[in-house]
Amino acid sequence: MKKSMKSIFTTSLLAIVVLSALLSLAGCSKGSASGPAITVGSKDFTESLVLAEIYAKALEDNGFSVKREFNISGQGPHEALLKGSIDLYPEYTGTALTVILKEPALFDAKQVYDKVAAEYKDKFKLDLLDQANINDSQGLVITKKASDQYGIKTISDLQKNTDKIRYASNGSFDQREDGLIGLKKVYGEFNFKSSKVYDDGIKYQVLKNDEADLAVAYTTEGSLVDPQFVVLDDDKHLWPPYYVAPVVRESVVQDSPKVATILNAVSAKLDNPTIIKLNAAVDIDKKEYEEVAGDYFETIKADVKAAADK
């Protein structure tokens, strides 16, 4: 009987030792969950979701525990930031200037960035980190066929050749001050060969079908991954810049300066061709944004890590 009790005691002690070892290993294996907690937010469209997920993965890979609060509509992310329910999200400098700060539009990218950065810090105690070379602005897209045939690379070129161009309008653009009305004021008259209104969702198909040569676009739309489309250069700067930059609560950067280092390293890798491809992978190829962001992060992971470890 004594021998049996001793055996039970020995077995129990061994089990405790093994369990303790396993728990210790589990704690070590968490890695990214062991660091400070950060809540990343996003707006409710593909590009913002992809960017926010890249931010989240970069932070997790460098020791932060990350909570995601994605798909926030309107200016909700800014409000959530002020309330402290999120710590950071990707914002557009033009939106920050004209919508949140309600300032008149500026057209120099550096001026826009500098003004937003200064006023965000002063009014909201928010840090605007480095902007990526992503400008998601208003634009015009023309078929490569028409661009090559008539030598149209800029909106000034377009204005000189409008009598040869079939325009696929979305209707509302023609009535807007920052649309066709503004184009006429800045570039001159646009007397198109033809103008017909189409639903915005089919504009690229209309161009592919050779029903039109020109349409209204945003400059990082996924469909622009197709080489048969060309975005015209706004050479007289009608439209303000909308560059992407992470906005972070000042206290977060003060407590964890590495957050800024990591996100700045991410921004340094991003540009319009890259984000167009990522948007296309979600919107056209129908992949999940988490997968797309994760695959892309793997391509920059080493560089971000190197920056974070300096």
pLDDT in tens, 116-144: 999 999 999 999 999 999 999 999 999 99
What pLDDT score does 36 carry? 85
Q: Which of 276, 280, 281, 278 is nearest to 297 (CA)?
A: 278
Phi, psi at residue 131, to the nearest 5°? -80, 140
Structure tokens at 160: 């000189």
- List, in order, residues 6 or more apart from 197 with CB less than 8 Å away: 169, 170, 171
Q: Which strands make up the sheet holding 229-231, listed edge to edge?
A: 194-197, 166-169, 214-218, 138-143, 229-231
What pLDDT score does 67 carry? 98
Q: Which residues pair with 206 in a beta bridge?
A: none
Q: What is the Cα–Cα distance from 286 to 280, expressed in whole angstroms?
A: 8
What pLDDT score does 198 carry? 97
Give domain limits for the chain. 35-135+243-308, 138-231
What pLDDT score does 34 carry? 58
Contact 205, 104 (CB under 8 A): no
Homologous superfamily, domain 138-231: Osmoprotection protein (prox); domain 2 (3.40.190.120)
What pLDDT score does 19 carry? 43
Q: What is the Cα–Cα distance from 100 to 238, expressed in whole angstroms?
A: 21
Contact 53, 294 (CB under 8 A): yes
Q: Which of 215, 218, 214, 216 is nearest to 276 (CA)?
A: 218
Provide the residue count of the chain.
310
What pLDDT score does 181 carry? 97
For Cα atoms 41, 259, 81, give the angle at the middle one, nearest 5 degrees: 35
Residues of the chain with pLDDT under 50: 1-32
What pLDDT score does 33 carry? 53
Residue recorded with tokens 């921004």: 267
What pLDDT score does 9 carry? 41
Distances (CA, A) of 66 to 55, 159, 259, 278: 10, 49, 12, 22
Q: What is the pTM of this model?
A: 0.87
Q: Which CATH number fits domain 35-135+243-308: 3.30.9.10, 3.40.190.10, 3.40.50.970, 2.60.120.10?
A: 3.40.190.10
Topology alike, domains 35-135+243-308 and 138-231 = yes
- List, in order, residues 6 or more apart from 186 with CB less than 8 Å away: 236, 238
